[in-house]
Amino acid sequence: MPRPLRIEYENAYYHVMNRGRGRQKIFHNEAYYDAFLLSLNEAHQRFGLQVLCYCLMSNHYHLLVKTPEANLGRAMRHINGLYTQRYNRLKRTDGSLFRGRYKAICVEDDSYQLQLSRYIHRNPVEAGMEIESYPWSSYAYYVKKRKIPRWLYTQEIFQQLHVKTRMREKYRAYVELGIDEEIEKYYEKENQSPYLGSQSFRDWAYKQRDTDELSVSKETLQLFRPGLDEIIKRVAKEFKVSKSSILKSQRGRVANNLPRWVTMYMAQQYGGLKLKEIADEFELKRTGSIPTTIKKLRVVLEGDRNLLRKFNRIKSQYDT
């Protein structure tokens, strides 16, 4: 079975989620919620895990965390494993509690943390409850004067508001605006990308993976492949040509369109496009010409150092 993709590096941010097996409840009363919060505190003490915000619902949880020591896997195994033990003792039962390994979305630094905090804190609202009176989220620590646990780090979220006064009041107003369309669409997708951020962040984050590419599912791997539009943009910039000149098929006896050849190569090798998909995008009547074009490109590369330098600069953006 393919392993989930793991991306770990120092000071990484993650939106972490998990739910009960078969959507069963994982929190039954105050004792269970307190046991989970105790596990968060212990993960902070042992692994340095910093929790920016959290929301614990009856059958699932949301965390926005930062890992100064690049150890999300160890910290989450500790949290889920320890809480399962405590749950089983409280419930006088045994066996697994969660549906499986936690889900973690790697978040670009200084980008979506504020929006994610709103998404997480509004979970009770989406379930038809009052956000102000819901006791099992970090929202109250953001909007009321309360002693904050050592493991809860609110300052980074406040900093993204870019205000100097009345931070609690302005954060409350921000949350009351509701979830923004971009975040809502992202979480509505059935097959979510394991990262949240810019294209350059996605490229960089994939290189930090802790999982061999061959053991990652094809579906997960595809989420990290560059799209054709991104490849065309990069090739056009390197060769100083227009995007349309790369895609448009030229008829008759014309000079070699090297940027077009390079784009075809990158689309197949790094974009993961099938021959039929490449043929459709490049206005080709048959797929058989694509391997021929790529073969011709390799021959030209052997005798053109300037082309080879350009080719390698583009290729280096995708090599891992």
pLDDT tens-digit map of 195-224: 888 878 877 777 776 554 444 455 555 555
Q: Which domain holds residue 264?
A: 226-316
Check whether residue 201 and residue 243 sit in a common domain.
no
pLDDT confidence of residue 2: 44
Check whether residue 200 and residue 279 sit in a common domain.
no
Check whether residue 70 and residue 119 sit in a common domain.
yes
Check whether residue 169 and residue 305 sit in a common domain.
no
Supply the CATH number for residue 243's domain.
1.10.1750.10
Supply the CATH number for residue 22's domain.
3.30.70.1290
CA distances from 29 to 87, 133, 200 (A): 11, 16, 44
pLDDT confidence of residue 23: 85
pLDDT tens-digit map of 73-108: 999 999 999 999 999 999 999 989 998 889 999 999
pTM over 0.75: no
pLDDT confidence of residue 43: 96
Check whether residue 40 and residue 186 sit in a common domain.
yes
Domain-embedded: residue 3: no
Check whether residue 214 and residue 267 sit in a common domain.
no
pLDDT confidence of residue 169: 96
Check whether residue 55 and residue 157 sit in a common domain.
yes
For the chain, the domain total comes to: 2
